[in-house]
Amino acid sequence: MKTKVALPLMMIVLFVLIACSLPWGKSAAGKGDAVQTAAAATIQAMSTAAAQASTAQSKNTPTSKPTSADTAAPTSAPPQPTSTHTQPLTATPPPTSTVPPTPTPKPCNLAAFVKDVTVKDGTVLKPGEHFTKTWRLKNAGTCTWQNYSLVFDHGDAMGGAAAVPISASVAPGQAVDVSVDLVAPSDEGTYEGYWKIRDDKGVVFGLKEDRAFWVKIKVTAPTVTPTNTSAPTATPSPTLPPPAMLVLDLYAKAPQASWRNGQGAVLPFPGSNSDSRGFARYADQYLLEDGQHHTHVLETHPQWVDNGSITGTYPSVFVPANAHFKAKFGFIAAANGGCGVGNVVFEVWAFYNNHPARLYSKQKACNGHLYSVDILLTPMANRQVQFRLVVRANGSSAQDWAVWVDPHVSTP
């Protein structure tokens, strides 16, 4: 609407300008300035009027009234607006498992070291000095320690017993002090002995990862202070008898022996007392034919056939001079505490220089007494020797609950 008003106004202004520029004579020439001034005023007045008219027209014109062009039906559907807003893509995290990890179950047999009660690592001792090593251990497993034993595993035995019963009953989580009597070696040096625990079924175990606990000492001869510094004289050390040395504990090492019956069948250790092939196992809990309980009892029942047998062959060991094989042997008592009908032959064999040698043979029936054997091993001194225990049924093998009590090889 502003364009329609402005076009006539421009034409009027153009007409006035042309009129002012035409030659109208002298009278007209004298009035040129006045005419131009009047024309300018007229143009300004007309511009103001035109602006007011345009404003009035815009106020009076409805903005919502459609024209014929606006009301015409569209020939096609208008395009839908395309959204430029894109929903951001968010990576969906993998679902988090809500199932808790399965805890590793505790083993039946496990020990935990608490502290050294006596003889801490590096303790200095004199040659041949007797001492008692005590460890405080915790039952870190799930089984109660009942009829368990402290056993030597490897290293320097230092004259200690191969197995020492743990007299207390130790429940899971409880601690116990276990001790072994030892003797410092006669030679100077550093010595280490490693120990573990054996359960009532003959299974040997230690700390985590089956590690052993230990005793570590340093043996040093006492120094002699001379009384006359100008002429020192050496004082000879006293001559000490060599301490007893355990060479082989056949009771403690029974799990490492090779057990077979007379037909050559390999037998497990510990075996089952219902195994008709014969069996070997620990039997410390049983009353023996002498009416007493003993420790370090190894049962060796022959195969359940007439004249059946069982043998246990041990790994070879070095036998020093003046070594002995010692043991007691007999039978487990019957259920009534008396003797059964057991009757066997007990034998001890040694293999050295690639030849077998029978060191001992004794037929025994159950008679209420245990027999003892003490064999001096002079012929095989300073040699590698394999020892073998043999039990042969003397006729029927019924009730042949034959046992060896504390069988071992040692020096006096």
Residues 387 and 272 occupy one common structural domain: yes
pLDDT in 10s for each residue of the chain, 412 residues? 444 545 555 666 565 455 554 444 444 344 444 444 454 454 455 555 545 544 544 444 444 444 443 444 444 444 544 444 444 444 555 555 566 667 778 899 999 999 999 999 999 999 989 999 999 999 999 999 999 999 999 999 999 898 999 988 999 999 999 999 999 998 899 999 999 999 999 999 999 989 999 999 999 987 655 555 555 555 555 555 556 789 999 999 999 999 999 999 999 999 999 999 999 999 999 999 999 999 999 999 999 999 999 999 999 999 999 999 999 999 999 988 889 899 999 999 999 987 889 999 999 999 999 999 999 999 889 999 999 999 999 999 999 999 999 999 999 8
List Cβ neighbours of 265 (8 Å cut-off, separation of 6 or more): 277
Residues 293 and 341 in one domain: yes
- Whether 232 maps to a domain, the answer reads no
> Is residue 275 domain-shared with residue 401, that is, in the same domain?
yes
Q: Which residues pair with 192 in a beta bridge?
A: 216
Answer yes or no: do 213 and 251 share one domain: no
Measure the CA–CA gap between 120 and 216, rounded to whole angstroms. Answer: 7
Give a yes or no: residue 138 inside a domain.
yes
Of 219, 254, 289, which closes a domain? 219
CATH number at residue 169: 2.60.40.10
My answer on whether 269 and 168 are in the same domain is no
Query: 155 in a domain, yes or no?
Result: yes
Neighbours of 99 (CB within 10 A): 5
Same domain, 208 and 271: no
219's CB contacts (< 8 A; 6+ apart) are 124, 125, 126, 127, 184, 185, 187, 188, 189, 190, 191
pTM given for the model: 0.46
The answer to whether position 333 is within a domain reads yes
256 domain residue, yes or no: yes
CB 340 within 8 A of CB 384: no
Query: What pairs with residue 386 in β-bridges?
Result: 351
pLDDT number for residue 81: 47
150-166 burial string, b = 16+ CB within 10 Å, else e? bbbbeebbbbbbbbbeb
CA 319, CA 96: separation in Å to the nearest integer? 65
- Kindly state whether residues 255 and 380 are assigned to the same domain: yes
Number of domains in the chain: 2
- Report if residue 268 sits inside a domain: yes
What residue has token string 């131009």?
A: 36
Are 146 and 291 contained in the same domain? no
> Could you list the residue range(s) of the whole structural domain that residue 199 is in?
111-219
- CATH number of the domain within which 265 lies: 2.60.120.200
Helices (H) and strands (E) in the chain, counts: 4, 22
Based on the domain organization, do 212 and 304 belong to the same domain? Answer: no
131 within a domain of the structure (yes/no): yes
Is cis: bond before 270, omega within 30 of 0? Answer: yes
Taking the CA atoms of residue 323, residue 328, residue 329 and residue 330 in that order, the dihedral angle to the nearest 10 degrees is 170
Residues 204 and 344 in one domain: no
197: which 2 tokens? 């625990």
Interatomic CA distance for residues 126 and 191, integer angstroms: 12
For residue 401, what pLDDT is reported? Answer: 95
* Residues 203 and 255 reside in one and the same domain: no
Residue-level pLDDT at 71: 41
Q: How far apart are CA 156 and CA 160, in angstroms?
A: 9
Contacts of 74 (CB under 8 A, 6+ apart): none
d(CA 160, CA 193): 10
Would you say 372 and 294 are in contact if contact means Cβ atoms under 8 Å apart? no
Task: Give the type of residue at 344.
Answer: V
